[in-house]
Structure 1
Amino acid sequence: MRLIRLGPEPSAVGADVRAALSTWGNGDAVLGGVALLGVRPPDCPRDLDAVIVLPRGVLVVVGVDLPDPAMRLEAPLNGQWKIDGWPLTRPDGATSPAAEALEATTAVARRIQDMRGEPLPVTTVVAVGPYVGQVVQPTVDLNRGVRVLHPKPTTLLAAARELGTSDRPCSAAHAAKLLAVLAPTGSPPERARLIAEGFSDAAADLASASTMLLPKVTPPKPGRRLLPYVAGLIVAVLLIIALILSLSSGDTADSSPSTTPTPQPTTVVVDGRNFAQRGSDRTDDCAPHTFGDVRAWLSTHLCMQLRRAQYETTVDGRKAGVAIAELSLPDATRAGELHALASAPGTGGVSALVQEGKAWPGGPSTFDRSAIRVSVKGALVRITQVVWAEGEQDPADPKLAQVTEQALRLPAAQQ
């Protein structure tokens, strides 16, 4: 278990959670995985003591500080908590602290789904302290994937093993995306370290899977040797019948209207201006298609996807080319960082498709000295460039600037 501390524990019992996790040590000898400590994932309603990303599941750990140590804690999800027979009272009037934990777990699961992370089961651990000798939970709550426990190394380990139930292990590449989606700052561990923590090597998995899927060949029994000949005869009869039917209906086939797929539109209209698409591309490997400081930044930060598109339009009888690049980042914080970097002069950017051998007849050969607009919306950073197809270029040309504004509404990839 690799620990990454991103902030202080929001509860006193969070220190016990961290101590329990640290006893397992790095690597997968005990369990494996990566624990984000003191983290608040984007859109989560509260700080979390830990989010544990395991090869087969994600655990959301929420700490609850009890007023006193307890020998017995009755902890139903939807009922009154009781400490040694006495109702637990809280200043906010809540009878069950588990409701807050479930709300946080729901937010984490929604975040993973919205960012298209690996669909691992997301479950809840409510860590209670300063000390609890015995916790009583209804069976229905246990079946919902919720554990209320005092975070000793053994109890937390048992819960992690019970709740990590995915049918297949998460790969190191998917684990890196999950961690980037959940952590608002920093970068995920390197791939080799994630593999050391028990996340699978996708290449090795594919190799073993292809071997396992090879069908087992058994010699045919004597009684089955005639089956291929019988099957061949049946196929021949069916072909003759199909030929007769096609010949008999040939006269009417020509008169029936043909159904051909409707071609997808290749022109987009914005404010009355036509933009003809001249190619698009998408990739999950963003950095190789960038340059300058932008490339250096992307080499150390996760980028979910890069989408690029090219368009051609006409302004007062003169052709202009448009290049669009849209980078999908894990969250708005990192998108803001990249936006600030890419907006500064001389910091590089994203290579246009024409610079990778995808020019079109009559279009520009380069997007150097283009009018540029860098914008950000949520976790998306968009770089729009416009140049004249021929002639001198002026980045401050007001006509190009107007096209740049209109191009903000163009799709970054063909649907």
Structure 2
Amino acid sequence: MRTVRLGAEPTKVGADVRAAISAWGAGGSVLGGVAVFGCRPPGGPRPLDAVIVVPRGVIVVVGVDLPEPALKVDAPLQTPWTVDGWPMVRAEGAVNPGLEALESAAALARSLQTRDLEPLPVAAIVAVGPYVGQVTQPTTDLHRGVRVVSPNTTSVLAAVRELATYERPCPVEPVQRLLRVLDESCELTAEELVAEGFPEEASADLATADTMLIPRYAEPRAADLIRRLPPRTRWIAAAAALVLLVCVAALWWALDEPAASPPPQAPAVQRVDGVEFVQRVGDRDASCVRHAFGDVQHWFEQRECRSLTRAVFETQVSGRPAAVSVAVVELPDRQAATELRGLLDSAGTGGITDLVAEGRGWPGGPDGFDNAAQVVEQNGNRLRIVQTVWRQRSSTPGDVGLRALAERGLRLTPQP
């Protein structure tokens, strides 16, 4: 990643962010892209510690200085934050730094749109320092495109990879214009940007290609053609047609073959944050107990569900193939859903059996969802359970990439 320093960072933690990003090194071996430090985009509510421009996204970085290192920060977007159990009191600005980061991201997005630039998604990172042991964010806030992290190389890198998920890379020329929006003096050559992973030209996109309406050709009806023939010719044509009809009927009965089956339907495709998910299998059942295991199965023996909808999707994350299992459980009431969620969130209590484990996988699909990353979300009396695994490498429940993929999977709709 190439770094450009326009001015001093507005916070102390900004120096840690700059050091963390500089450690990735130039070129695309780690991530690629351009990091601009100490800038204030047009219309922005505050100076930014950094703006990270990568081929598939733009991320603004806002620093937050704590009086001392913290063990745990609870960082919801709708209410004040707490640091080690104590409220974070702010004399000015938004109710918490996360909202300020979203405002900065929105302001930059508006500036890019008014200049008709490539519609790259603009997300936000809040770097809290000098050190935080654990950051807790609600799942719904993660969907809004903001990450709260400690200012170290690993955390910032993981957050950028989760947030930069546009469907195609931005080419060099729009990136040069984007950098000039950050500052007129921010000039990089095409060769420098290509070395950071930006393509020279936009890839062909059939979805945006111009199309032209073709006039419909109306074929003349057979009856009209026959009426134009002389009387004798019409009799000959009618006789020939009758003979042909008899021959076809005889051949049909002789072969006694069933009608050809309709062609298979194309797999269902859904898109979340620019990532494409292809559904391979799906199923719906009115019973949950026979599709569960462990303590969860025992729970269903006492309290049956209303319906269970499951599906398995395939996708790619930065070129790496992955599989996603989604299960939607509808329960009689909210209380039952809350009980089941508590059980599913506990380790070693079992869960919902995925379709692959029941032999419903597809050729070349995943071997199973062992060691999968799992996320559970409750909405009233419904639970959504998402599991993710890599298809051609080992998986672990704490894998950052798989957990980010599971968060996106919460917005998938399984089709039975």
> With structure 1 as the length reference, what TM-score do the two structures score?
0.49
> With structure 2 as the length reference, what TM-score do the two structures score?
0.49
